[in-house]
Each structure stands twice: as C-alpha cells, then as structure tokens.
Structure 1
Amino acid sequence: MQLNVQEIMEIIPNRYPIMMVDKVVELTPGSYVKAIKNVTYNEHFFPGHFPGEPVMPGVLILEALAQTGSIPLLKSEEFKGKTGYLGGIDKVKFRQKVVPGDVLVMEMEIIKQKGNIGVGKATAKVEDKVVCQALMTFIIGA
C-alpha cells in the first residue's frame, strides 16, 4: 500500500512547518511502514542550523520517524480516526549528517503492542546508509 501526502494528512494531524513525511511507499497496517522525506534547502530550519553548513537537526529526524511510525498504528482498524502521540524514545543513535538534497528513507516496524500502546523499531537511511536508529513508544489517544 502506498500513500501520497494528502492521504497521509488524513491519518496524522501534522501540517506545515512540522509535516515531515512526503510519501509512504510501503505500508502494512498495524505492523510496518516505509516512508520518504525529501530534504531540501528550503526547509525552515536550515538558515539557523547551521549557517554555512546546513544540517537537519537530529530532533527533527526523530520527529520524522515518529510521524512515520504512527501511520501503521493509526491505519489499523482498531485506531482509525485516533491521534498518535510519542510516548518515549530509547536507544537513539545518530550515525551521519542529513543535508539538503538527501532523501531520508524511514522505516518503522511495530515490535510490540498492548492496548493503546505500541513500540516500534525505527531506522532512517540516506542512500542505504543508516543515519539514525531508535526504539519509539506510541500512545494512541482519542
């Protein structure tokens, strides 16, 4: 299953300037998602991070992964129409910079779910090189 940006906005509430998912290229509701963020020089954060050496802030890579990770949960029958919240981040590792022109490929595998809480294994890559890994906890609210 693939989703364009309009379909993604029907699932998650994020909008500009914090919308960080451009396209979903693979989706198995309830268990897995692979999504794309095209990183351009026009991003609102690059003028200040850093002048002369634009680098995507690590916290925004994590935000992109969190938005990506909430999609398979919110696309499941159990949680349709609900909102996903980030409940925790563990074992974060940054491995290289993300810069303008990069295509950030984000994957999330939901590895555990109990009630309205899910845990996912997140990976972000650029050109098949891992740039960030983390375990993320999601809480599905009303």
Structure 2
Amino acid sequence: MNAKSVLRWILLVAVFGSVGFYLYERPDQAMADGNPAKSDVSAAQVVVTYFTTDVRCDSCRTIERLSRQAIEEGFPEQVASGLVAFRVLNTDRPENEHFLDDYEIANKTVIVSHQVAGAETEWTDRQDVWLLLDEPDEFLAYVREPVRQYLGED
C-alpha cells in the first residue's frame, strides 16, 4: 500500500466512525421507540415521564433504564391495560420546552403525573433519582411510590 491508499483508509475510518458515534449518541430515535402513542398517554391514569436533553451521560441512561424498569416490572398489568404509561421526552425539542416551566424543571428528572379524564390533577417530581443511582432497589421503590399512591394502592 502506498501513502495515498493509507490516507484514504484513515479518512474513511474517521468519517464512518464519526457517523457511528453521532448515531449512537443521538437519543431521539431510541426515545421515540420507547414512547407510547399520545392516545395511550392521554388514556392513562398515571404517566411517568423521564425528561432528558440532547446531551446524555451514563447516569442519564441509567436513570432512564431504571425508571423504565420500575414501571414496566412494577406495574405490568397496568402498563398492558394502558392505565400506567412510561415515556421519555427531550426538553431540547421545541415541542417539549414548555415542560421546563410546567414542572419547574432545572435538570433531568422523572415526573409522575396523576390524570383524571385526561387532565392532570397532580404530579410529583422524583428529582432524588440522582442520589439513588447506586442503590437500584431504593431507586425502583422511590419511583414506584407515587404511582401506587395515584392508583390508590397505598
């Protein structure tokens, strides 16, 4: 191989590596796949939302994973029936920016919202999820507690 061929291969690897990294770091597609349809959310009695941004660290991904686990494993029948819904929303998207003011969000967080006839009646900010990242059992219980309360299970 001559120097020109080596340089061509280096450039190709750099370009494809950059594209791969960009696609891996983009949360939009992954979040869209995990979100229920809007009609599913509007019919739910409890909506659990993880609010994130375009920039996501390992802790952010852990919060999303554990929050999803808390809901899907803690309330499988209610999720299947549409009574409870989990979603991920990116507040860097223009259509979601209003949630920053609606819930007084200053950082990535989990909001548990109680819905009656499609209208929100109350909500709870589970902002301490950041403190429970290394304690998964406590994290799961912390996220599930207001869901149980809103479902009348407490």
Alignment TM-score, normalising by the size of structure 2: 0.28
Q: Which has the larger radius of gyration?
A: 2
Structure number having the greater strand percentage: 1
Alignment TM-score, normalising by the size of structure 1: 0.30
